[in-house]
Amino acid sequence: MLGLMQEWPLLCHKLIDNAARQHGEREIVSRSIEGPIVRTTYAEIHRRALQVAERLDRDGFGLGDRIATLAWNTARHIEAWYGIMGVGAIYHTLNPRLFREQIVWIMNNAEDKAIFVDLTFMPLLEKIAGAVKSLRKVIVLTDKAHMPQTTLQNVVAYEQWLDEGTGAFAWKTFDENTAAGMCYTSGTTGDPKGVLYSHRSNVLHAMIAAMPDAMGLSSRDTILPVVPMFHANAWGLGQSGPMIGAKLVMPGSKMDGASIYELLDAEKVTFSAAVPTVWMMLLQHLEETGKKLPYLKKVVIGGSSCPRALTTKFQDNYDVEVIHAWGMTEMSPLGTLCTLKPDCAGLEGDARLDIQSKQGYPPFGVEMKVTDDDNKEQPWDGKTFGRLKVRGPAVARAYYGGVGSEQFDQEGWFDTGDVAHIDPGGYMQITDRAKDVIKSGGEWISTIELENLAVGHPDVAEAAAIGIQHSKWGERPLLVVVRKPGREPTKTDILAFMNGKVAKWWMPDDVAFVGEIPHTATGKIQKTTLRQQFRGYRLPTD
């Protein structure tokens, strides 16, 4: 027997409908690509998103078409998202920080038919557009006055194109499992893989993200999504924000400390989210200028492990609550958030930081487990680590084009490729990537732990641990170190510093000093390249 409740499909345009209806006058403030700070409202964004949908429809784009965006976080980018989804097409956020060939490969893989592009990326697009066979239209996110000379074909200024709309258009409707958005992974461990979000998964993810024990977002918040919309949906903020009607502050192309501080202060931002490096730049700016953060209440930090020092500074010096979070493109992206359960809400000092340095626990809607290589579930003892697997309505069940199918099992579990342990309180901690973990005599050594330890040395700027082939143990750790400018720590200094802070057999067999460690386009350490560089390296212990 079925229930007798309404069929009300979870469609993304209902989020912006709700924003316009209940929070129509609430502001969305953007640092525009043209320069000035511009202000609009949800009512206005809603009206213009409908116009985007109308124009796309008239230009022949619709259900299932992939429409790329190569753009910073601005109100126009939000309008484009909802307009694309509202006509049944699929927004495909491109990460401009990827290498040019990767972008071409991704666009061809996705068969993008049109693209919304910021002025910033015109030179880039001019170089690659010819290589993307499917591309039929380029919409430049600016007005006629700011349109540059261009070699691009079928190109139009967004505002001019919008103005051709009549304003009489209604959202298309379709099944809630219809594809709504697309995003490729960052390509840290291999080729980027496409993830295809549905309207349902986006809406559920928006709800999950806003919950009090997740990000805890209210209409009274002012949200600054520093994390780009092209980086895993801006962690859901482009959907959660309209859903609850919060004021949004969109940083455009400027993510340096001074620019972010300026917005935080002028717009009285209460909530923000970004990767650790952005926050380090902000804190450095604050320290240099002596500025404070009187309005900011809470920041979410994720994308890579949040250094303890960052949490301490935010909380102790600026009275800003830090929520460490873990997620991935394949999870829309939220996986776990480190909010405090009642049992640990009263902790202080180091005991509190010990919890907060973990990646947290999953909200309702995300299931997780840790298994060994034989898929046997591991105990929640806070030390036994293994493969982290997840399930949920906003988790991928496959990659676009069917690649990576070995990561998905029959029972619906997705192997994240991360290695983690879970403590008795349910808090998960990432210790490694499965591809990076060092296997010594059959046992696993966590590279993240070695690196976190090494960068605690005052003369170390950056460190990466990789496994080097060893005739007796299979693999043994090599620590690759970049020294701080003007400092000359030796191998002995560094090993002495680490000694006793980690199990004896985890200690690196050697330390190699380099001028630079290779990074991916999104700023993560590129261990594949690093391992290539050290192929054939001979350890002194071998």
Ligand X SMILES: Nc1ncnc2c1ncn2[C@@H]1O[C@H](COP(=O)(O)OP(=O)(O)OP(=O)(O)O)[C@@H](O)[C@H]1O
Footprint of a second copy on 153-182 (CB under 8 A): 175, 177-180
Among 304, 315, 371, 452, binds ligand X (CB under 6 A): 304
**Candidate residues 307, 382, 426, 523; the one interacting with a second copy per rule CB under 8 A:** 426
One residue of 86, 392, 417, 467 binding a second copy per CB under 8 A:
392
Question: Nearer to a second copy by C-beta: 121 or 171?
Answer: 171
Q: Is the Cβ–Cβ distance between 249 and 224 less than 8 Å?
A: yes
Q: Which two tokens stand for residue 485?
A: 């400018």
37: phi then psi, degrees, rounded to nearest 5: -75, 125
Strand ordering across the sheet containing 155-157: 90-93, 66-70, 114-117, 137-140, 155-157
- Active-site positions? 185, 330, 439, 444
Q: Which amino acid is at 13?
A: H
Please tell me whether residue 187 binds ligand X under the rule CB under 6 A.
yes
205-264 residues in contact with a second copy (CB under 8 A) are 207-208, 210-213, 216-220, 243-245, 247
Closest approach, Cβ 189 to Mg ion, in A, equals 6
**Dist CA 338 CA 361 (whole Å):** 6
Burial class (CB in 10 A: 0-12, 13-18, 19+), 338: buried
- Please compute Rg for the chain using Cα positions: 24
Least distance CB 436 / ligand X (angstroms): 9
d(CA 330, CA 346): 34
State which of residues 60, 190, 294, 441 lies at the interface with ligand X (CB under 6 A).
190
Residue from 183, 195, 445, 463 touching a second copy (CB under 8 A): that is: 195
Q: Enter the tokens of residue 361.
A: 């626990």
Q: Is 42 helix (H, G, I), strand (E, B) or coil?
A: helix
Q: Verify binding: residue 257, ligand X, rule CB under 6 A.
A: no
> Of 37-45, 210-218, 311-319, 324-332, which segment contacts ligand X by CB under 6 A?
324-332
**What count of Cα atoms within 13 Å lies in the side-chain half-sphere of residue 158?**
23
Stretch of 13-21, 53-61, 76-84, 130-138 lying at the interface with a second copy (CB under 8 A): 13-21
Q: Please, what is the minimum distance in Å from the beta carbon of residue 417 to Mg ion?
A: 5
CA nearest neighbour of 220 among 205, 210, 206: 210
Give me 477's structure tokens. Answer: 């750790």
Residues 6+ apart with CB under 8 A from 305: 276, 359, 430, 448, 452
26 binds a second copy (CB under 8 A): yes
Instruction: Please report, as residue ranges, which positions from 348 to 387 form the binding site for ligand X (by CB under 6 A).
Output: 359
Residue 454 is inside which H or E element, if any?
helix 447-454
Measured from the CB atom, is 40 or 356 closer to ligand X? Answer: 356
Task: Give the x-and-dash track for 263-302 against ligand X (CB under 6 A).
Answer: ---------------------------------------x
CB 218 within 8 A of CB 244: yes
CB of 305 to a second copy, least distance (A): 22
Q: What is the largest CA-CA distance in the chain?
A: 74
Within 8 A by CB and 6+ apart from 59, the residues are 114, 137
Contact partner at residue 418 from ligand X, a second copy, Mg ion, none, CB < 5 to 8 Å by partner kind: ligand X
Measured distance CA(282)–CA(280) in Å, rounded: 5
Contact partner at residue 208 from a second copy, ligand X, Mg ion, none, CB < 5 to 8 Å by partner kind: a second copy
Minimum distance between the CB of residue 50 and a second copy, rounded to whole angstroms?
Answer: 17
The angle that helices 42-58 and 75-86 make with each other, rounded to 10 degrees, is 50
| Subset of residues 128 to 187 that bind Mg ion, contact rule: CB under 5 A | 185
Q: Which of 16, 269, 334, 430 binds ligand X (CB under 6 A)?
A: 430
- Provide the minimum distance between the beta carbon of 215 and ligand X in the complex, in angstroms, as a whole number: 14
Q: Which does 303 bind (CB under 5 to 8 A by kind): ligand X, a second copy, Mg ion, none?
A: ligand X
CB of 328: closest distance to Mg ion in angstroms? Answer: 5
Please report, as ranges, the residues that interact with Mg ion according to CB under 5 A.
185
Residues in contact with ligand X by the rule CB under 6 A: 185-190, 192-193, 232, 302-306, 324-329, 359, 416-418, 430, 433, 524
